[in-house]
Structure formats: C-alpha cells, structure tokens
Amino acid sequence: MRLKDKIAIITGGASGIGLEAVKLFAREGAHVALVDFNEEAGLLQERELQEKWDHIKFFQADVSDRESVDQMVQAVMDHFNGIDILINNAGITRDKTLRKMSVQDFQKVIDVNLTGVFHCAQAALPYMLERGKGKIINTSSISGVGGNIGQSNYSAAKAGVIGLTKTWAKELGKKGINVNAVAPGFIETDMIKTIPDMQLMQIKMITPSPRLGTPLDIANAYLFLASDESDFVNGHVLNVDGGMLK
C-alpha cells in the first residue's frame, strides 16, 4: 500500500485519466476526494466505487470558479480532516486554429486548465503547510511542451502549468511540499475521441512505443509522484508519451 491513509484530492476524477487515478489511489490505501464539475457522472462513480472502497467521496466543483473551489476544499477538510495530495487533473479542449479560435474559447481553456490549477493549489496549500508535507501533481501535456496545431489555448495553458510547477517547487520545497507535473502523450479517453482514426494511426507510427497511452499509464505516474518514493523529485515534468517528445 503505497498511499496508506493519505488523503488525496483528484480533480476531473469522474472520467478518463482522473477516474483511473481515483481507483488506483484507493487500491493503494488512500482516502480519495473525487472532484468533478459533472455531478451526474461524479455521483454515479461514487456509488459504484463505494461498493469496493468506502473511503472515496464525490465533491462537485468547477475548478475555474474560485468560490466553488474554496467550498470544495472546505468540504474535503470537514469530511477527511486533512489534505496530503492534490492531483490537478481536470482539463478541457476547445480546438481551433489561430485564424478561427474565438476569444471565448481561448479564455475558457485558460480558465479551466491553468487558472483552475492555481485555484486548487492555493486553496489546498494552507492544509499542506499545516502538515509540513504535501504533494502537488499538475497535469500538463506534450502540447504544452512542444505545441500542437489547433491548440493555441490548450498549449498555452499546459505550458503555463509547467511554469507554475517549477515556480511552486522553488517556493514550497523548503516547506516539505513537492510539486511536479506529468505531460501525457495521446491517451485513450473521451478527450481524443474527436481525432480521426487516420490521424491516430499516424500518431502511433511516430511514437517509439507504437501505441496510444492508457489512463493507467498516467495514473501510475501520478502514483509515483504522490508516493514517498518521489520525495527527492521536485519541479520535474515527467513525459509519459511513449517517447514521442524526445
């Protein structure tokens, strides 16, 4: 049990990578706050998961809304009485080329994928400082490291997440808090459902490990960075992309 009795918040926990991480963390002994904007999906997952693990609870929140995040963190504290791990995993896409992207779509993705990370970390921080130990894991992307056609908003947000990660590692390391990021490649979730099959085939062909990633590939990286095994890893961006970005 690599996370025995640790209390973890996982945002975007109702589907895809986040949901896989909720299950893996529960298996490893953590008490998990499954946080998601989507109430229906969150409650459904809570019901199913609680049949196996009673230490999982759903909290509805919109990470882009500060009041909603503050209320969620307070509710997590009331229920679990502590926060050891924060996985900033919630994210959205609104893809269009620069010529066609609306200001609204640019701003929306920044609000959720970048400002949302800031909100959650700032709200959870006092409770990690109280414990003198903590792990913050932010979800970036290969698009944030290398850019991607049609993703001005997403690439900017995910590059910004790397900036936050490196800054917070420097600010918080001496307080016992490690801040790292994971940069997934193409992972089989709802998020990539809009990519045509032909393009997915090409993606596999240019990936040294020639396949798409699974949600578990990313959840395993979250687990390492959330566990004591990574106590001397700080400010790092872990590419989990089959070697796509060299």
Query: Hey, which residues are catalytic here?
Result: 154
Q: Binding to ligand NAI (CB under 6 A): which residues in 94-133? A: 112, 116
Q: Is 162 in the site for ligand NAI (CB under 6 A)?
A: no
Which stretches does DSSP call E strand in the chain?
A: 7-11, 31-36, 56-60, 85-88, 134-139, 177-184, 237-240
Q: Tokens at residue 206, please?
A: 């240019």
Q: Is 90 in the site for ligand NAI (CB under 6 A)?
A: yes
Q: Is 18 in the site for ligand NAI (CB under 6 A)?
A: yes
Q: Tell which residue, 98, 138, 102, 100, has the closest CA to residue 121.
A: 138
Q: Binding to ligand NAI (CB under 6 A): which residues in 50-69? A: 61-64
Q: Tell which residue, 109, 121, 136, 102, has the closest CA to residue 191.
A: 109
Tell me how far, at minimum, the Cβ of 100 lies from ligand NAI, in Å. 21
| Contacting range for ligand NAI; rule: CB under 6 A; set: 71-79, 120-128, 189-197, 226-234 | 189-197
Q: Is 11 in the site for ligand NAI (CB under 6 A)?
A: yes
Alpha-carbon distance 150 to 96, whole Å?
A: 5
Q: Is 17 in the site for ligand NAI (CB under 6 A)?
A: yes
Alpha-carbon distance 28 to 37, whole Å?
A: 25
Residue 213 near residue 182, CB atoms below 8 Å? no
| CB closer to ligand NAI out of 116 and 134 | 116
Which H helix or E strand runs over 75? helix 66-80
Q: Is 214 in the site for ligand NAI (CB under 6 A)?
A: no
The residue within the footprint of ligand NAI, chosen from 25, 106, 186, 222 (CB under 6 A), is 186
Residues in contact with ligand NAI by CB under 6 A are: 11-12, 14-18, 36-38, 61-64, 89-92, 112, 116, 139, 141, 184, 186-187, 189-192
